[in-house]
Amino acid sequence: MLDRDDCLALDHGADSSGNPVAGFAARFAAGAPGTLYFDANSIGPMPLAAPERVRQVLDQGWRIARRRSWNETDWLDQPRKLGGSLSRVLGAGAGDVLVADSTTINQHKLLHHALDLNAPRDVVVVEREVFPSNRYAAEAASALRGARLRDISCSGELGEALAAGDVAVVALSLVDYRSSTRLDLVGITELIHAHGALALWDLSHAAGAVAVSLEKAGVDFAVGCGYKYLCGGPGAPAWLYVHPRHSQSVVWPALAGWMGHSDAFAFEPGYRPAASVSRHQAGTPAVIANAAMSAAADIWCDVDPQELDERHRSLTNLLIRLVDEQCAEFGVTVASPREHAKRGGHVTLRFSDAQAEGDVSALAQALVEAGVIVSSRKPDALRLASHPLVARHTDLWDAVSKLRGLLLSEQWRDPRYRRASV
């Protein structure tokens, strides 16, 4: 059975490599005093440089230079520049990632684009239980274009769904937002391509937490949130990836706009798509949000994805072991896969007793009030998402000890915890 000193030893480098990723914590601002933050799958930690970047845009850019800033600064280049900075952690070519809009909007754009590219095929395959916004986008794209939606309940049904040879695009989440189960990016993309379909992946719960390799996997399109593990800040723009084989196509992007034109400031009456991923940027970039995100993007340029992955493995494997050792006797089980390669950013725990009380949010709320910031998904899933660039092994020990304390004392059953939902 591990004790806190074992965890301290891991923080000091005993986890095989003395992983340099631990050094990146110094580039992030501390969170609220007395709290342990396990909600990086909602909003990642704030880079130290972010407030000053935003202040500069507001003061120098908006207050003083105002309109001149469009010419004198890199505001217009930010969607490509930020995309370039994220490309390393996404395993993508530097010119193939764009930062713009929200994940949902990018999902819409790329579903329509895939249907255009792969016509006359007219089937969109999507998981029924995928993050709801992705399914709504697939439903809407199909309805709007008279295409057919084919639901699958898990990736195991994909072969059958593809067999008829009529699928234009398969839209999948790499990591399930509830259980954190991670799919096989390479194998499934291969299967999709073998049936002549295109692959659109949502990496929101993987990017910035574990190593991914979009280019090597031959993925056609991918999207993901900027505000989760990528630490772009609340409401940060999302990113989208387009494989270079689709960036030069004569097929227009779904949302043609001046910022995706090959010469935006020529103000031509006719649309000519840019010969790059930029064609998927329809309108003016979100300058202030991009300024906050640039602080995170600079950090991502410096992070070695394999070291990030190793750190994540070390932290989440430890979390699972601590939960097994300290909380199993109370009916808490690990719902995420135990093999690291099959797990995304967070670790999900199940707590059967919570279900008897209604749902798990009372335990989640009790944890939050004890300073352990977690999230829950009804009826019985508790999600713990520490950030691999910031978290320490001892944080995990402290959090699991608090969880054990609440279970032991049964304090979480106090009716006051039932009111809130986290």
Footprint of ligand PLP on this chain (CB under 6 A)? 102-104, 131, 133-134, 173, 177, 202, 204-205, 225, 238
For 412, the token pair is: 């979480």
- Which residue type does 47 have? P
What is the phi-psi region of residue 231: left when phi exceeds 0, alpha when psi lies from -120 to 50, beta otherwise?
Answer: left
Query: CB of 205 within 8 A of CB of 344?
Result: yes
Between CA 406 and CA 404 the distance in angstroms is 5
Q: How far is the CB of 15 from ligand PLP (least distance, A)?
A: 29
Q: How far is the CB of 103 from ligand PLP (least distance, A)?
A: 4
Using CB positions, name the residue nearest to ligand PLP: 104
- Which residue type does 363 have? L
Q: Which residue's CB is nearer to ligand PLP, number 238 or number 396?
A: 238
Question: Which one is catalytic: 228, 279, 313, 392?
Answer: 228
Question: Which one is catalytic: 24, 28, 38, 131?
Answer: 131
Per DSSP, what are the bridge partners of residue 123? Answer: 148, 167
Query: Would you call 227 a catalytic residue per the annotation?
Result: yes
Q: Which residue's CB is nearer to ligand PLP, number 90 or number 403?
A: 90
Between CA 365 and CA 372 the distance in angstroms is 9
Cα 285 to Cα 44, 99, 127: the distances in Å are 22, 9, 31
Cα 352 to Cα 122, 328, 329, 335, 358: the distances in Å are 43, 11, 12, 11, 10
Query: Would you call 383 a catalytic residue per the annotation?
Result: yes
Q: How far is the CB of 183 from ligand PLP (least distance, A)?
A: 12
Q: Which residue's CB is nearer to ligand PLP, number 134 or number 336?
A: 134
Q: Which residue's CB is nearer to ligand PLP, number 204 or number 290?
A: 204
Between CA 251 and CA 382 the distance in angstroms is 44
Question: Which one is catalytic: 39, 101, 202, 359?
Answer: 202
Q: How far is the CB of 376 from ligand PLP (least distance, A)?
A: 14
Q: Which residue's CB is nearer to ligand PLP, number 237 or number 273?
A: 237
6's CB contacts (< 8 A; 6+ apart) are none
- CB atoms inside a 10 Å sphere around CB 3: 8
Query: CB of 416 within 8 A of CB of 217?
Result: no
Q: How far is the CB of 104 from ligand PLP (least distance, A)?
A: 3
Q: What residues are labeled active site?
A: 131, 202, 227-228, 383
